[in-house]
Chains A and B, each alone.
Chain A
C-alpha cells in the first residue's frame, strides 16, 4: 500500500520490507550521519541516523517537541497540526511536559504495571480461547493483536470496550499517512467529543480507573483540568492501540519464520523478555514520535543545526547501527538489546513502555504454548504491511494451527 504521493527522493523512506530496512540509511550512518534531506511532507529537515547521535538529539533540552512550531518536520503531506487539538504529552516541552508526565507516571511504574500481570494473562487467555473455538484460519490482528492492548488500555483508563470499533477505526485513520487533513481532523474531533463526554461522566461519578484517579488527585490539589484529562485520555487510547498491536503481529511473524528462535523461547520462557527487547529493536515500528525542532543553534556531531530547523532522529536507523548492535540485521534474542531506542529516548521516552513489554511477553509466552502448531496461512509477500502508516505493522495476518 504505497502512498503514490510520496516523492521517492524524500524522507523518511517508505518501508518496503518488514525485515530489511532501507539500505540508504546504512550509507548515511557511515557517510553523513546528520544530513539535510527533503521531507516527505515538504520542506527539509536534518536526518540523524547514528545511534549515539539519535540519543544525543532526543536528550537535548534545546530540541523542542512542540509540533506547532514552524520548522517542525513533516513526515507526510497530510501531517499538519490540527488547531482544535489540545497539546498532548508528546508535543509538550518542559516545564509543562515534566509536570503533566509526573502527574500520571505513578500509573506506569514498573511495579504498578507488574501488578497488572494476572489480569493481562486472563485477557490473553480469553482471546486465545475464542481463537480455539474457531476452526481457523483466523486473522491474528482481529483475534489477538488488537483486542489485547485494546482491552488492557480500556480497562486501565476506564473506557467502555464495547466502543472499541469506534476508536480503533479513528485511531487507524489518524495514523495513516494518506488520510486527508480534513478527514483526520474529523476523526480527532469525534474521538475528542467522545472522551469529553466520558470524562464529564467520571467527574460526576468518580470511577476507580486511571481517569477517575486523576480526577480525584486533581480535586485534592485544586480544580479539575478537564481539557488536559481529555487530551491525556486521547493520547493513551491512541498510543495504547496500534503500537502494541503491531508489535504483536510483527513479533509473531518473526518467530514463525524463525522456528529456531521460537523453539528457544518455548523451551526457556525466561528468554522471552530479552526476545521482546530484540524484536522491539529489530522492528522499531514508530517513526513519527522522534521529530524535533531546534529552539536555538545547536551543534550535534560537528554539524550546526540552526534555531528553527527541523530534526528527525531516526530510531529505525539507530537500532540497526552496527556500532551499537553487533550484526544488527540478525534477530538475536540472546543479545542485550536494551539500549535500543524503539521507545524513543530523552524525556519523552514512551510512557507506556513497561506496559507494552509486559503485554508482549505474556502474549508470546501464551500464544506459542497454547497453539504449538500455529502457522501463517498466507505467503509473507501477500500480507498487507502498513507501509503507509506512521506506525509500521500489518493490517491482516491469517493464521491457522
Chain B
C-alpha cells in the first residue's frame, strides 16, 4: 500500500505524526505533512490507516497499487 498526501488540503494538525511517527513528519516552514515512508508494508498498515482516519483535513489516503 502506498501513502498519498494532498499538500493543498493539509492543515498541519500533526495528527499523523502523533499516530505514526515513523511514517510521517511535518516540515519546518508551514507544518505540512512530510511522508517519510511512501510504501508501507503489512506491519505498518494499521498505523497508516489510523493516521488516514484521524487526519482532520482528509489530506491522507492509502492507495493499493496491486
Q: Do A and B come from one complex?
A: yes
Nearest Cβ in chain B — how far from A128, in angstroms? 27
A215 to B53, CA, bound (A): 36
Count B interface residues, CB 8 Å.
Answer: 22
A357's nearest neighbour on chain B, judged by CB, is B18
Contact (Cβ within 8 A) B30 A106: yes
Query: Chain B's interface: helix, strand, loop or mixed, by majority?
Result: loop
Residue in contact with B31 in the complex, picked from A105, A345, A346, A349, CB distance below 8 Å: A105
Report if A347-B30 is in contact (Cβ < 8 Å); known contacts: A59-B56, A338-B50.
no
Contact (Cβ within 8 A) A346 B57: yes
- List of B residues within 8 angstroms of A98 by Cβ: 11
Q: Does B40 contact A (CB under 8 A)?
A: no
Q: Does A110 contact B (CB under 8 A)?
A: yes
Q: Does A108 contact B (CB under 8 A)?
A: yes
Contact (Cβ within 8 A) A59 B14: no
Contact (Cβ within 8 A) B13 A106: no
Contact (Cβ within 8 A) A349 B26: no
Residue in contact with B13 in the complex, picked from A111, A339, A353, CB distance below 8 Å: A353
Residue in contact with A105 in the complex, picked from B12, B17, B50, B56, CB distance below 8 Å: B12
A-B contact list, 27 entries, CB within 8 Å:
A58-B56, A59-B56, A59-B57, A101-B11, A102-B30, A102-B32, A103-B30, A105-B11, A106-B29, A106-B31, A109-B12, A109-B14, A109-B26, A109-B28, A110-B14, A110-B21, A110-B26, A111-B26, A112-B28, A338-B19, A339-B54, A345-B56, A347-B11, A349-B11, A349-B56, A354-B14, A354-B18
User: Which residues in B have some Cβ–Cβ distance to A below 8 Å?
Assistant: 11-15, 17-19, 21, 25-26, 28-32, 50, 53-54, 56-58
